[in-house]
Amino acid sequence: MSLKHPALIKLLQMAYSAEKAAAYAYQGHANCVKKDEEKKAIKQIEIDEWNHRAEVLSVMKEYGIPISKYYEFRFEIIGKIICYSCYVIGWFMPFYFAGRLESGNVCEYFHIKHYFNELGVTKHNQLFYDMGIKEKEHEVYFYEQIKNHRLLPFFEKIFSWGAIKSLNDIDLKKNIPVSDANLYCKNKSYNSTSNT
């Protein structure tokens, strides 16, 4: 079966390549933190990103969607730049920008799910729901590390993510089932009740 949904195809290609960028970034991040528990947590998040990449690729193969050479090149460069920048930008910024990145990635997977559903395809619902929820868990982890940092209000004002603002409307405490997940990521204006 081929997909006649250009936005879905593009989002799958981008998600596949962006996971590589994220994984590279977390390699640098994990190497730069000093606490063993932080290293372990960030390494696990890196593993999660590689797993997501493999899962997205399996879906792409099912529908004959090619890997985008452009996205692969672009996101590899981005990932490596972020990886190496972790060695020079201190402790706070890698945690902050990782949290903001993960916040945006959450809806990426829910949008993929929505697009498949527009085509009447529901068999991937659980997969993309689980990946979106996992990205939310990553966001919450990074937020928890910096929530009391003095720079957070300043960065939130500039980059629109933190204690008050989020890039998604997922609330892990509500534990909404897959059957009701179409409620998520429909609106562009979110608040941070979902970060805590």
Q: How confident is the model at residue 23 (pLDDT cuts 50, 70, 90)?
A: very high
**Which pLDDT value is given to residue 175?**
85
The pair of three-digit structure tokens given for residue 107, joined into one six-digit string:
């809806």
Q: What is the pLDDT of residues 136-159, one digit of tens each?
A: 999 999 999 999 999 999 999 999
Q: If you average pLDDT over residues 153-174, what whole number do you get?
A: 93
Q: What is the pLDDT of residues 102-139, one digit of tens each?
A: 999 999 999 999 999 999 999 999 999 999 999 999 99
Contacts of 182 (CB under 8 A, 6+ apart): 114, 117
**Is 70 exceeded by the pLDDT of residue 189?**
no
Q: How confident is the model at residue 186 (pLDDT cuts 50, 70, 90)?
A: confident
The full set of domain ranges for the chain reads 6-195
**Architecture of domain 6-195 in this structure:** Up-down Bundle (1.20)
